[in-house]
Structure 1
Amino acid sequence: MDTREKISARGDSKRAESPRGTGNTARGAQRRIEIIDAAIEVMARVGLAGLSMRVVASQAQIPLGALSYYFNDKSDLVAQAFQQLSDREIERVVRTAERLQPTMTTEQLADLVADMLIDGFSTPQGALVTRYELVTEASRDERLRPMFEAWYAAMVPALSRLFRDLGSHQPELDSRTIMAVMAGLEIDNVYRPLGPVDKRRIRATIRHAFRAVVALHDL
């Protein structure tokens, strides 16, 4: 089973466990997504501590009582928000991984990864801030950890295959090195909107990391 199949199976399992039946209709599923997106914006603005069902209902422009039709409680909403963010992030990772080819130059490979990283700061609005908010919560709530770990389950094999094709003797270590650089860049820039200078620095840093890792293959 390849990465995409594993992700699909994991998502099917999560959907099967959903406590509400509104996803059985296209409109119900879309409305749930819209409410979760509203919750993501709220968490990005006021943090998890400031999140309440009332504030989310106001952001989503629906009656407070309607939220109970989609979510059991605040914990259920938080868990589904984390799942939605995780699913979207995995889709972005898979799309980028499929474009990474060993015939590309080091700069081309690095730029594709940098594009993915930069895009994550604004797609959708507030998603990156909320993801880090929820990652912190995962340190307290073990039910959220598998969703965060799913990102690594998607990215590590994809980058490892690339570095193996490039001649790496330690492809998984190489991939985790690049991912550590990416995580550091996210944290360094998450507190404010990215400007043109920030984007250039991100691209330069990712290029430098890729060149350093690839250079080790010849040692």
Structure 2
Amino acid sequence: MTGSTRGPNDPRRRERILDAALDVIAEHGAIKVTFRKIADAAGVPLGSLTYYFDDMQHLLTDAFTRHAESVSTRYGALLEAARTPREAQEAVVEIICGKVWGTDHNLLLSYELYAFATRHPEVRTVMRSWMQASRDSLARHFDPLTARALDALIEGLSIHNSVDPRPTDRAEVAAIVDALVGPVHRRGRSRTTAR
């Protein structure tokens, strides 16, 4: 290994370990992750993992946090760009039907996060933070109850569409979002009036 990938000469080593951990989780599942698999995937000595992380729980929590923040950033950017109620609804449709997840790999990581969080209460804080960030982004344009419902719709349809032999298409998703948002929102509650 060269000096650029070792010790103090590698300032991004921690991030590379987290990225490698996410790759290993996607390939093997969170319950089958080991320090050795992550070290091999990251191309770092095994001892590097214990230098940065107290234990596997710490490493997985930080890896899942990295994943959640990455998806939340893309999700929030679409809603931040919306200027009208109609654009906000279109952003929700894009979150469901577009590339907010980035790749199937990221959607798979989300499944792993859900499953892992059900058995590891300390990781539930990652899920709760992610849900809150999503709802906060939606609340720029929608009342709190609608934001909560849209967040559940986004998660549910994204998961269903990834396994459904006939995924809900964009026009159908748009109709569902329109029905959920309802007439109160369509009367003009915009980003500027919501604040």
Query: TM (normalized to structure 1)?
Result: 0.69
- Offset at residue 179 of structure 1 (A): 1.6
Out of 29, 40, 59, which is 1:47 matched to?
A: 29
The RMSD of aligned alpha carbons is 2.8
Retained in 2: the 8 A contact 1:178–1:209?
no
Out of 203, 206, 219, which is 2:170 matched to?
A: 203
Q: Distance in 2 between matches of 1:191 and 1:38?
A: 25
Q: Distance in 2 between matches of 1:41 and 1:215?
A: 40
**In structure 1, the residue corresponding to 2:31 is in which secondary structure?**
coil
* CA deviation string 1:97-154 (max 9, x = no partner): 211222x53xx4333223334323335x622212221222212222112221112222
Question: Aligned letter for 1:147?
Answer: V
Retained in 2: the 8 A contact 1:40–1:81?
yes
* CA deviation string 1:161-217 (max 9, x = no partner): 413xxxxxxx2222222222211122213459xx9x85xx45224311221134332
Retained in 2: the 8 A contact 1:110–1:206?
no
Q: Does residue 46 of structure 2 align to residue 64 of structure 1?
A: yes
- Offset at residue 60 of structure 1 (A): 1.3
Query: TM (normalized to structure 2)?
Result: 0.76
Retained in 2: the 8 A contact 1:83–1:147?
yes
**Percentage identity across aligned positions?**
28
Q: Distance in 2 between matches of 1:92 and 1:47?
A: 24
- Show the 5 A alignment for 1:57-206: 57-102=39-84, 105=86, 108-117=87-96, 118-123=98-103, 126-163=105-142, 171-190=143-162, 198=167, 201-206=168-173
Structure 1 gap ranges (5+): 1-24, 164-170
Q: Distance in 2 between matches of 1:206 and 1:26?
A: 49
Retained in 1: the 8 A contact 2:79–2:88?
no
**Residue 140 to residue 120, structure 1, CA distance change in 2 (3 Å):** same
